[in-house]
Structure 1
Amino acid sequence: MRCTIVLEFDEGDGTVAKRVEVMRFHRVDRSQASGDVGLSLAEGNSLLNCVQQEFVVEQLDRYCVSQRACKVCGALHRVHDGHCSELKTTLGKVFYCLDRWKACKCGADGSRYVSPLKNYLQEPSTGELRWLHAELGATMPYRQAKQVMDLLLPTSGRDSHVTIRNHTMAVGKSLQHAQPVRRWCEEIKPIAELGIDVGYVRRARSNGKGAGKDNRAGAGRSSSSIDVVVAALGQTGRQPRVWASAIPRTKRLQEEMTKFLEDSGYDDPNDVCVVTDGDLDLAGVADDLPFDTEWVLDWAHIGRMLRHVDQAITPLAYGWLTANGSAFELWDLFVRLRSFVWTGQTVRWQKLGKELCRLLELRERLDLNSSREAKQARCKLIDLISYLNSHLESLIDYRTRQRVGLRIATGFVESSINRIVGRRMCKSQHMRWSRAGANSVVQVRVALLNQEFHELAQRQFPWIGQRRVSWPWQRPSRAF
């Protein structure tokens, strides 16, 4: 059996203007192996690349013919020279003739020579390929993305993971300042619940002159890490809209977060409830926002510290310490303290905290067998009380807030950090990043998480994702 693939180009009226034989497939019926049906992946890639080659050449030839005449006098430009050039597409690398014409004698061109494809093909690769590289490069390591491209799509064999990295960085920079494709809030806007947290990635080693300046500008844990600020905005029970940035915490970061809130539908008069773990670095991120900001301390962080105190007091729970106390006086006081913190009764938990510290100190002196455990429990309790006292303005009635359906923890932000930063940039990856590279990858992953990536790509290149065909692309060879 032999199958011949032929391309026919026409003007839309049914008359064939050009007919090109692209490829022939051969099958020997007697030597067919079991299951050898249809085209293989290698044959399909070769066919796609051949069709793309002929289609691009014909399309560029027709465009050059339409631009050949002078726009002023109508005279045809004379060909001066030309050379072979290449264009990278999603269906492989294609080659075309890049001509250069002599300028028209009327002087309308304003130069000696004219290149008709100079403004038509401004990049050596198509926009669809660059955005595909960015999507794969932000989803998986660059070398792995290169292997996936080679496995599924035609390739020239000369591409490398560096190309995917460069395209990812370029697309990430364009996404950082792109306008959102849609408004996220209706006319009646609830109070904005904004969660802020920070993720860290390892910084790439650099001996350049700008390395020390970049390290001083970043406010991360140390000079060997880059901090990525992540913010999530949305109501309980709905997918939040995410924003992230790896730039240093300067005024520019405040402006971008303000723009994120405005693009999400929240203007100056709206209230913003910021949920955070109380980190001093995070306090400076949202203090300068032009909104009426209400701070809420993350209950998950408080609950974790309460659990540590609980684990330390549990072995010491049994025993009389005062005449009016019960056999489980330490445990009873701690349960009441935890309840008062949960309901936002500051004066009462402060009083119980002092009493509990006094009893633990008394237990440390009286019971020599458990003095070490009592000291450890007292130290953990002091840490908890100091943490709560340093964030009194952020403590609220968590029970009431939870009952009305509002957020009391930053779990939705931490999950966003894991999806944006952790899975790609630090956890089990053993990778190091520059600040520019980390910020670009973060922007692409945020666009993918917000389900805006393909819409932003179509805004810049409207033909991406379109099927401009006349016949259905799923049509059986016969009626069944």
Structure 2
Amino acid sequence: MQVRIMLQIVGDDGTIGGTEEIAALTKVTEGAEDLGLSLAESKALLAAAQQRIVEAQVNGWLENHRHCKVTGRKLRCKGSYSITFRTLFGDVQLKSPRFYLPKERQTNGPATISPLTQLIPDHVAPERMYLETRWASLVPYAAAAGLLADVLPVESGVNATTVRQHVLRAAERMESDLAEQRVSFMEGTDPRDWEDLPIPDGRMVIGLDCGYIRDWRDRKKNFELIVGRSMSEEGDARYIGFVHGYDRKPQRRIIDHLRRQGFQADQDLTFITDGGDEVRGPRRADQPVQRACPCLVHITMQITVLRQFAQGLVHHDKNAGTAVLDGLRRIKWFLWHGNIYRAREAIDDLVLDLEALDSCYPNLRKLRTTIRKFQLYITSNEASLINYGERYRSGERISSAFVEATVNAVISKRFAKKQQMQWSRRGAHLLLQTRTRTLDGSLRAAFEHWYPGMMNDNDRSHRQAAA
């Protein structure tokens, strides 16, 4: 069987540019593998069609932009040079003409222009950059390049280095889109204007936690990533991530992140963290919150460690060990009910009792050190502690477990925490921007904002006709 595939291009004015054969196939039907187009045939067909279609579009565009914007005269051609336009369906070779400008426009500028650089300044099709960014956010750069080469006719122009460059370029554009530095959501807003705001879509919760990956510059050290997840009662969850210390203005990133999710200045917002300095800093710099609280799980874990030491103390000094266990139960009860004053008193009393204790318990020194660290932790987060029991009974979150799952989803599966992959701070920070948007489904929206034509997908006219 002979199959000939013809391509016909019709101009905007209805003129037919002729019919051209772009593929001639010989099909032999002996098995299921012979039916339809093979992968190689489809690649060749797509590449041939893409070359002709792009050439026709570029020629039409150049014809419409060959006249001087000032004088209206047709520009004289000086020559052309070859450029490569990398698309999803092959690398298209194009001729980019250079035109002489009128002499009156050459006084303070170049003598020639290349209009095609305005149409394709990056030499990469937006959808190809989107797909590379999306796939490389989920799998290593080399794997993303291999996947593109497997299913699309892009073998000659794709490799791990190229994909990485495109991904980082997209991430840098996201960085440039961040809003200007703001101290809080309230900056520049008048509370009297809140009455004009629509009713917020319920409460919003954002949790922050940290993870570590191997530093490429100093391979014996790690550096810290801060990732988080924000959830509203209405709407989808969104991810956020940045490299601690590399991002100098984390409060701006958090504010911009929440605003893109639809957060309003009069909306109830709660931060949940592990209470560490790394994730407490961005929250404090960003003071629109009505409630901010360390995760109860982290408090309970520290009390559990203290209980284990106290149980060991019981075997050496029953009275002292029992007293420590009773003190820890009282502290946990006070913290659960938000009685911070009584909890602080109980912790201080327990610290003094342990300092004065004379016992042969071998881990007494570790017990004293641990209780002092717990005392410092509670003191540092005193302003953020809440009534966990009341919050739990009202059905609100008191745990950052959902954030710890986010750390594994964002960091472990792509940054290969277990394999100790090595990263530069810049590369990790920029990849975080694309990975978080890929995971929560907002990456496409960012590209459509930059390239509105991506929202078309060639069926807008059909939908309008149907309407």
Aligned to 1:211: none
Offset at residue 345 of structure 1 (A): 3.5
Contact map agreement 2:206 2:231 (CA 8 A) in 1? yes
Aligned to 2:334: 340
Aligned to 1:448: 438
Distance 2:277 2:430 in 1: 26
Distance 1:234 1:132 in 2: 26
Distance 1:333 1:224 in 2: 39
Distance 1:438 1:448 in 2: 15
Offset at residue 429 of structure 1 (A): 4.4
Distance 1:412 1:442 in 2: 18
- Structure 1 residues 313 and 82, CA gap change in structure 2 (3 angstroms): same
Aligned to 1:432: 422
**Any unmatched runs of 5+ in structure 1?**
207-221, 473-480
- Structure 1 residues 56 and 313, CA gap change in structure 2 (3 angstroms): same
Q: Equivalences for 1:127-166 in 2 at 5 Å?
A: 127-166=126-165
Distance 1:250 1:4 in 2: 56
- Structure 1 residues 320 and 462, CA gap change in structure 2 (3 angstroms): closer
Contact map agreement 2:132 2:167 (CA 8 A) in 1? yes
1:466 to 447, 453, 456: 456
The share of aligned pairs that are identical, in percent, is 23
- Structure 1 residues 157 and 271, CA gap change in structure 2 (3 angstroms): same
Larger mean CA deviation between 439-448 and 285-294 belongs to 285-294
Matching of residue 244 in structure 1 with residue 241 in structure 2 = yes
- What residue identity is the alignment partner of 2:298? H
Q: For residues 54-93 of structure 1, what are the alpha-carbon distances to aligned partners after superposition, in whole Å with 9 as ceiling and x for unaligned?
A: 1111111222233344556665444332233221111111
1:193 to 198, 205, 212: 205
- Structure 1 residues 357 and 119, CA gap change in structure 2 (3 angstroms): closer
Alignment partner of 1:229: what SS? strand
Q: For residues 246-272 of structure 1, what are the alpha-carbon distances to aligned partners after superposition, in whole Å with 9 as ceiling and x for unaligned?
A: 262776233333444444455666665
Distance 2:247 2:87 in 1: 39
- Structure 1 residues 38 and 308, CA gap change in structure 2 (3 angstroms): same
- What residue identity is the alignment partner of 2:82? C
Aligned to 2:216: 204
- Structure 1 residues 430 and 249, CA gap change in structure 2 (3 angstroms): closer
RMSD: 3.9
**Any unmatched runs of 5+ in structure 2?**
180-196, 463-467
Larger mean CA deviation between 132-141 and 60-69 belongs to 60-69
Matching of residue 414 in structure 1 with residue 411 in structure 2 = no
2:385 to 395, 417, 422: 395
Aligned to 1:229: 226
Offset at residue 432 of structure 1 (A): 1.9
Contact map agreement 1:140 1:424 (CA 8 A) in 2? yes
Alignment partner of 1:5: what SS? strand
Q: For residues 255-306 of structure 1, what are the alpha-carbon distances to aligned partners after superposition, in whole Å with 9 as ceiling and x for unaligned?
A: 3334444444556666653322221333332223243564412211111122
Contact map agreement 1:84 1:97 (CA 8 A) in 2? yes
Alignment partner of 1:344: what SS? coil
Contact map agreement 1:247 1:435 (CA 8 A) in 2? no
Aligned to 2:94: 96
- Structure 1 residues 399 and 328, CA gap change in structure 2 (3 angstroms): same
TM-score by length of 2: 0.80
Distance 2:80 2:162 in 1: 27
- Structure 1 residues 257 and 93, CA gap change in structure 2 (3 angstroms): same
Offset at residue 25 of structure 1 (A): 0.8
Contact map agreement 1:258 1:290 (CA 8 A) in 2? no
Contact map agreement 2:201 2:233 (CA 8 A) in 1? no
- Structure 1 residues 416 and 236, CA gap change in structure 2 (3 angstroms): farther
Alignment partner of 1:118: what SS? helix
- Structure 1 residues 292 and 443, CA gap change in structure 2 (3 angstroms): closer
Q: For residues 127-149 of structure 1, what are the alpha-carbon distances to aligned partners after superposition, in whole Å with 9 as ceiling and x for unaligned?
A: 22222222122221111111111
- Structure 1 residues 231 and 79, CA gap change in structure 2 (3 angstroms): same
- Structure 1 residues 250 and 320, CA gap change in structure 2 (3 angstroms): closer
Contact map agreement 2:90 2:153 (CA 8 A) in 1? yes
Of structures 1 and 2, the larger Rg is shown by 1
Aligned to 1:53: 51
Offset at residue 35 of structure 1 (A): 3.9
Aligned to 1:405: 395
Q: Which has the higher helix share?
A: 2
Larger mean CA deviation between 105-114 and 42-51 belongs to 105-114
Distance 1:271 1:465 in 2: 33
Q: For residues 390-442 of structure 1, what are the alpha-carbon distances to aligned partners after superposition, in whole Å with 9 as ceiling and x for unaligned?
A: 54333332111111122212223222232222321242343222222112111
Offset at residue 244 of structure 1 (A): 2.2
Aligned to 1:118: 117
Contact map agreement 2:207 2:229 (CA 8 A) in 1? yes
Contact map agreement 1:361 1:375 (CA 8 A) in 2? no
Distance 2:10 2:237 in 1: 50
- Structure 1 residues 192 and 38, CA gap change in structure 2 (3 angstroms): closer
Matching of residue 10 in structure 1 with residue 4 in structure 2 = no
Distance 2:341 2:252 in 1: 38
Offset at residue 188 of structure 1 (A): 2.9
- Structure 1 residues 318 and 170, CA gap change in structure 2 (3 angstroms): same
Larger mean CA deviation between 143-152 and 16-25 belongs to 16-25
Distance 1:348 1:113 in 2: 79
Aligned to 2:186: none
Offset at residue 167 of structure 1 (A): 0.8
Matching of residue 25 in structure 1 with residue 25 in structure 2 = yes
Contact map agreement 1:318 1:328 (CA 8 A) in 2? no
Contact map agreement 2:274 2:400 (CA 8 A) in 1? yes
Aligned to 2:173: 174
Larger mean CA deviation between 394-403 and 50-59 belongs to 394-403
